[in-house]
Amino acid sequence: MSISRSGGQGTSEVGNVDFLRICDGLCYDLSSLQELACRGAWRSVLDKVAQARSKSLLSKPHEHLIYLSYNAIALTKLRRFSEAVAELDLVEKGLDIYRYETYPHHYPNRHGSMAPFVLRWLHAELPSKLGRRQETLDRFYLLLQFIREKLTKNLPNASRQVWSKREGLVINSIISHQLCYKEFGVCLDLMKDLIKRDSTPVARAILMAKLGYIQMQYGDLEGARGTFGLIEGIVNDGNGEIEMKNLVNRNKALMFMVEKDYLSAVREYQECIDRDGSDVVAINNKALCLMYMRDLSDSIKVMENALERIPTAALNEIFVVNLCIGLLVWHLMILILQVLAYEAFFIWKKFKNICSTEELGDP
């Protein structure tokens, strides 16, 4: 047993080394850049990009684009949106000129765009971070048109699958922004179109869950309940994976939350956590339910324990903000109780002094 395990580990390490060599062969020191990004060390990513640019270590056009992509992602993650927009504006007008055939001495016998898709997506998404939501929507619709033009061409199966996933990503981005405008009709049409396109039961169930969330947002609770029931039927018919079972429980919990039955919602979320201790959505929502039940101490414990057990998964903005809110409210309550206790003590002391004065003045 021990021999086979060590042998497997050795094979895995060799495979990782080969993969890193391939990455570094494609682009200067890409492996370390990718490792920093996976760890969330975004400031280190910015430093590495700046260093590579200042020392002129990037010799080929695609290397400049790859480093630009990581730089833009890092700036976005650090919420330095105006800088990220300025970075992308440098190539916005010339994004389509980054084609392999434009540089035949670097890329002989290759054709097509070398621009990473993430640059196109960020170019569409970032204006909304600066308050220009309509511009973001316009750009996403243009990007969707660009993707669908690609899909009309005769593509290999692998490429077609990649572009189909990108189409789904862009449509979901459009839905998110349309929800901000409360354009529920547009969102429903887009979501139903996505559901028709996906043939796999798992993907259909996930998309139907999003459809149910949209129905809940505009008050169609019976419609959402019916959608969630269909999802439960799909899962019971043969997709009994932990992730899918948790999806069903989370949907039930959401219905309980809308009905303000927080205790039942906590039970559903706890069932998810028992199956998968890294289900951050269930952990976060359970903590919120406990807050609504005014059980702040348990709510804070749930989130703090998650941060200790699964720091990589739990360390996201929403989770941390909810924890900060819980701690803030908890400290405010303690402060209010201290102030009330001081006021009570001051009133008691004053009352005692009055009583003593009256006793001394009594003939």
Q: How high is the mean pLDDT in each 10-residue block of the chain (363 residues)?
A: 39 44 56 85 92 83 86 93 87 68 83 85 92 93 92 89 91 91 88 81 87 89 92 80 90 93 95 92 92 88 88 77 75 65 66 60 50
**Amino acid at residue number 337:** L
- For residue 303, give the 3-state DSSP assignment: helix
Residue from 238, 229, 237, 235 nearest 211 by CA: 229
Angle (CA) 245 249 254, round 5°: 145
Question: Could you give the count of Cα atoms lying within 13 Å of 279 in the half-sphere of its Cβ?
Answer: 23
Distance CA 17, CA 143 (A): 36
Angle (CA) 141 142 145, round 5°: 90
**Amino acid at residue number 353:** N
Q: What is the pLDDT of residue 34?
A: 86
Residue from 239, 261, 265, 241 nearest 251 by CA: 265
Residue ranges, comma separated, of all CATH 1.25.40.10 domains in the chain are: 256-363
Q: What is the pLDDT of residue 256?
A: 94
Q: What is residue 27's DSSP assignment?
A: S
Contact 144, 164 (CB under 8 A): no
Q: What is the pLDDT of residue 181?
A: 84
Distance CA 140, CA 336 (A): 49
Q: What is the pLDDT of residue 9?
A: 44
The third-level CATH classification (topology) of the domain covering 256-363 is 1.25.40
b/e per residue 326-351 (b: at least 16 CB within 10 A): beeeeeeeeeeeeeeeeeeeeeeeee
* Rg over CA atoms, the chain: 28
Q: What is the pLDDT of residue 45?
A: 92
Distance CA 112, CA 65 (A): 15
Which residue has tokens 């309940």?
Answer: 225
Q: What is the pLDDT of residue 336?
A: 67
